[in-house]
Amino acid sequence: MKKSYLATLAAASLLATSGFATANDFVDNMGPYVGASYGLLNVDGDEDFDKEDNATKVFVGAQFHQAFALEAGYIDFGNYGNSIFNTDLDGYTLALKAGIPIGERFTVYAQGGNLWWKADINATDERSDVDGSDFFYGAGMSFALSESWQLLLEYTRFDVKFDRDEIGILAGIDSFDTKVDYASLGVKYTF
């Protein structure tokens, strides 16, 4: 249900705003920018987590060239899991984005960077607070609504790795790796 809602919202936004920039305008979104996104999570780990949840992200960045940007952000994955085992995860990101303009208003891009995360892990009656740093990667597409506003559609994978010596409640497991997939719809404002 959430996935179809997100897809419908993205399609409606693209259609409703297609008249903001005329066909002859080349939209150059270089410079500093801010933005926010909301999306759905699919968590795939060694334990049974709920397959769908949501997350929010805020970010700032700089588009140095039509093809390259540097972006820093904060992402809150929320609380996911079940009544026996759950995790509250959030973190800060730093990414390099490389994109290729497709036409005058569309750009496709790839991104890769680092996530510095903190997790509160609850298992039955035990609780552990752990943190770490892991790589993430993804791809996306942007649509220029105007000279300053862009609509973003992204898919990102975060590989979060917990070591058993960090988490006493999981001492019987050699490692507890979690792949968090984040599909999001966002907006970006370029100054």
Which residue from 40, 42, 37, 34 is spatially nearest to 13, judged by alpha carbons? 37
Query: Which pLDDT does position 68 carry in this prediction?
Result: 94
d(CA 99, CA 140) in angstroms, rounded, equals 9
Query: Which pLDDT does position 48 carry in this prediction?
Result: 42
Task: Evaluate if residue 164 carries a pLDDT over 70.
Answer: no
**Which of the 8 DSSP states describes residue 5?**
H
Task: Please give the distance of CA 40 from its chain centroid, rounded to a whole number.
Answer: 9
| Residues 32-43: tens digit of each pLDDT | 999 999 998 887
Can you tell me the mean pLDDT for 6-34? Answer: 58
Query: Which pLDDT does position 19 carry in this prediction?
Result: 44
Q: Domains in the chain, start-ordered, CATH in brackets? A: 2-17+28-190 (2.40.160.20)
Query: Which pLDDT does position 61 carry in this prediction?
Result: 97
Task: Evaluate if residue 58 carries a pLDDT over 60.
Answer: yes
User: Is the Cβ–Cβ distance between 76 and 56 less than 8 Å?
Assistant: yes
Structure token digits, residue 40: 């759905």
Query: Which pLDDT does position 34 carry in this prediction?
Result: 98
For 99, the 3-state DSSP assignment is strand
| Residues 111-161: tens digit of each pLDDT | 999 999 998 887 777 777 888 899 999 999 999 999 899 999 999 999 887
Task: Evaluate if residue 63 carries a pLDDT over 50.
Answer: yes
Share of the chain above pLDDT 70, in %: 72
Q: How many residues does the chain have?
A: 191
Task: Evaluate if residue 104 carries a pLDDT over 60.
Answer: yes
For 138, the 3-state DSSP assignment is strand
